[in-house]
Structure 1
């Protein structure tokens, strides 16, 4: 009798061991996955948010004519708008590449080699920013476009791993931890950048050389820590039949047509593209606003962004906990309301008063990480199985500083009015419209329509 009981227990015990092994393997991949955010977020922080905007603007001004215009490809561009236009132009390159790479990853199941190629292309372009100087604004624009496009492609592949390495109930937590890892690395490297920049005289460096070292160090960091996720993440077998390869534009059109079968997923994506346009434009243009309109020193901007990084870690983890209790949708909506109020406050900031700029940075930090992390995890529930990279290629078009409508609106507003205050307040419409569109999306029905299990809270 006891032998029979033992025989009956063995299958259950075997199932338990298999489940424990699967959970351990999943945790290992999750830990490796976090480190890609740890690797590439330094680019977003040190390069895109802090140093490159003011520096490239100064380089463009050095190359400008007597009227303050540069002429890339013969087009007259106000030097103060050049950085915003370059960020906007980078999405054109990304649009050509991302859908093709996403579809190729889904068809082949080989995300990791593509992730490696994108990561090291971006890291190399960022490291090459050490060569900027004098009036080389065209080189700066080219490197920015390559780095931003490479980051976009890598994030398509990186985000596409999320539904594969986490259960539905883990998504909000895993996504939030990834963002927290990114903000932690951003803060740490920014402290080192602050030491180099503030102490450039004692290191025998000019201010420009210090900035170029900070830019290049982000590329070296990106390349070094990308090794960890590339060692831990694994490719999966394809779950649908392969089809013929098509061009980037055709693949994008095919992806959007396929999304028409999931109109609620498309509705969420539209809302996300709009409000995240605002988020990414604030991130990429805040340092230009601080230096040009508020007349703040570079060291003040670095400290402000460092404050954002520190508070964003707490904000991402805190909003992740709020999402567990109240659902991701409600938490994101609250963050969008906070974003709109923050921009309105930013319009009225007095010049040359760092304390108010620090207060604004604190408000941004508390909502930044959480709104991005929860948007990513919520979208992952709305993607049909087997189309993760393809759908995330469309998602990624407005992420990580690659939104193009926001910077274009910002740049045009400044070009027409000559006021960065008018440019910054013009972004409120992105958060207001995004709020309205997201509020109208029935997310539970959207998850069910995509054929995925519905979490208890969403």
Structure 2
């Protein structure tokens, strides 16, 4: 049911659930813990070369993104064909939350175990989001999609912020509780996974699969069901990918998003390790900054949702990209050990982060056929994760070549400028009209 308050609340609560992992584990605790606590002080030897924690983390994030890049559109196509977005969401969300909880077990020197658990957690997180995003066009209308998308992100920032505040208190007060800082961090990692798991059940109880599954093509019915659906997924994904060339402005938007989101994601995933290794900030300062980001991002997402209603979603995103460029420039000039500067820049990040992500998602959601929303959000995730491969890798490579991550953070401005130029060239009316020209029947997809 579209614009149903109960359904929208349940949908938004999944953002509340999984944002605890993204904020506490993936952004705040794990990168710094991996660089300082898991990777030995002298670095870790891998494939005949020794890497420091900051560089190895960047390569890990990029490599994980490549695996997800291969999986998401095929899974989305299968979920649409079988009308199983809710079931796929449950499997990947619960699996990801379980592996996120197990990250609390890793200790010094267990680099490979940490990398494997992080990989499995990220697969659950990103693939779960494909099916979660796929519900957006089904529960909203063109008039409400920007606000509903912004509400999801706003819930995520508050949920992630509340859970992170509890963990921050635990880590900051570990002495009073008779815990070492390492033990407090491990407990924080565990509680983030459990928070994700628990609130996922609440979200699933409010979501309903409204689409009808399609029967398998006759030529595939003799195969085991898993194999048959996998063939359907490959076929639909390949057909849709080939057909994208006929939809110039949808493809142009995806290309623009891929480029500027690369810069956004790189800042998010590398901020903690940049603060730790380059700025030499302590764990408490980094955690407080991430807490500020979360709570500033809540009104920021709602503000940009309102702004989109006044000036349009694209203009609001372009403004946000200008601010992201200012963030990258400011990060280059941050003084070593100056925690207040990092805190101030974090507040700016919080203001623009929610608007960029929420309005990009709603812009895309207004351009795609509703009956194939999970498949198309699979492609959206592909472009997002394909971009996320290069940002951290380039960040690490620039740091490796120059000996300073400051040049790495400055180089991200190029992503925001190039993405903004391409976004300005998109004909939104044409892109939105093209959603009615898609043919999605059986295993084929493409222009009518």
Asked whether the two chains share a fold, i.e. TM above 0.5, the reply is yes
Secondary structure of the structure 2 residue equivalent to 1:70: strand
Q: Quick check: 2:38–2:106 contact (8 Å CA) kept in 1? A: no
Please tell me the root mean square deviation across aligned C-alpha atoms, in Å. 2.0
**Pairing 1:70–2:45 present:** yes
In structure 2, the partner of 1:182 is 156
* CA distance, structure 1, for counterparts of residue 136 and residue 35 of structure 2: 37
**Pairing 1:86–2:86 present:** no
In structure 2, the partner of 1:115 is 89
Moved more, 38-47 or 244-253: 244-253
Moved more, 53-62 or 420-429: 53-62
* Alignment match of 1:38 (pick from 16, 25, 28): 16
In structure 2, the partner of 1:381 is 366
**Pairing 1:274–2:259 present:** yes
| Structure 2: gaps (5+ residues) | 218-227, 438-448
**Pairing 1:353–2:338 present:** yes
In structure 1, the partner of 2:198 is 224
* Alignment match of 1:291 (pick from 276, 280, 291): 276
How big is each residue's C-alpha offset from its partner over 1:399-443, in whole Å with a ceiling of 9 and x where there is no partner?
589811111111111222221111111211111111011011011
* Alignment match of 2:434 (pick from 424, 443, 449): 449
The size of the alignment, in residue pairs, is 426
* CA distance, structure 2, for counterparts of residue 417 and residue 378 of structure 1: 38
Secondary structure of the structure 2 residue equivalent to 1:235: coil
Secondary structure of the structure 1 residue equivalent to 2:379: helix
In structure 2, the partner of 1:14 is none
Secondary structure of the structure 1 residue equivalent to 2:15: helix
* CA distance, structure 2, for counterparts of residue 262 and residue 242 of structure 1: 28
Q: Quick check: 2:69–2:385 contact (8 Å CA) kept in 1? A: no
Written as runs of structure 1 = structure 2, the 5 A alignment for 1:381-400 is 381-397=366-382, 399=384
In structure 2, the partner of 1:4 is none
How big is each residue's C-alpha offset from its partner over 1:374-410, in whole Å with a ceiling of 9 and x where there is no partner?
0000100111232211110111135589811111111
Q: Quick check: 2:78–2:230 contact (8 Å CA) kept in 1? A: no
* CA distance, structure 1, for counterparts of residue 339 and residue 386 of structure 2: 25
In structure 1, the partner of 2:444 is none
In structure 1, the partner of 2:78 is 104
Bigger radius of gyration among the two: 1
Q: Quick check: 2:255–2:383 contact (8 Å CA) kept in 1? A: no
In structure 2, the partner of 1:455 is none
Please state how far the C-alpha of 1:277 moved relative to its aligned partner: 1.1
CA 1:208–1:402: 2 relative to 1, 3 Å: farther
Secondary structure of the structure 1 residue equivalent to 2:39: helix
Please state how far the C-alpha of 1:60 moved relative to its aligned partner: 4.8
TM-score normalised to the size of structure 2?
0.91
* Alignment match of 2:111 (pick from 137, 149, 154): 137
Please state how far the C-alpha of 1:288 moved relative to its aligned partner: 0.7
How big is each residue's C-alpha offset from its partner over 1:348-367, in whole Å with a ceiling of 9 and x where there is no partner?
11111111111111111110
Please state how far the C-alpha of 1:292 moved relative to its aligned partner: 0.9
Written as runs of structure 1 = structure 2, the 5 A alignment for 1:52-67 is 52-62=30-40, 64=42
CA 1:300–1:113: 2 relative to 1, 3 Å: same
* Alignment match of 1:172 (pick from 135, 146, 169): 146
| Structure 1: gaps (5+ residues) | 1-21, 453-458
Secondary structure of the structure 1 residue equivalent to 2:371: coil
Q: Quick check: 2:79–2:374 contact (8 Å CA) kept in 1? A: yes
Q: Quick check: 2:138–2:370 contact (8 Å CA) kept in 1? A: no
Please state how far the C-alpha of 1:330 moved relative to its aligned partner: 0.5
* CA distance, structure 2, for counterparts of residue 275 and residue 396 of structure 1: 14
Q: Quick check: 1:99–1:251 contact (8 Å CA) kept in 2? A: no
* CA distance, structure 2, for counterparts of residue 76 and residue 246 of structure 1: 40
In structure 2, the partner of 1:49 is 27
* CA distance, structure 2, for counterparts of residue 348 and residue 324 of structure 1: 35
Q: Quick check: 2:258–2:386 contact (8 Å CA) kept in 1? A: no
Please state how far the C-alpha of 1:263 moved relative to its aligned partner: 2.0
Written as runs of structure 1 = structure 2, the 5 A alignment for 1:186-335 is 186-238=160-212, 245-246=229-230, 252-335=237-320
Please state how far the C-alpha of 1:342 moved relative to its aligned partner: 1.2
In structure 1, the partner of 2:222 is none
CA 1:290–1:139: 2 relative to 1, 3 Å: same
Q: Quick check: 2:68–2:385 contact (8 Å CA) kept in 1? A: no
* CA distance, structure 1, for counterparts of residue 328 and residue 189 of structure 2: 27
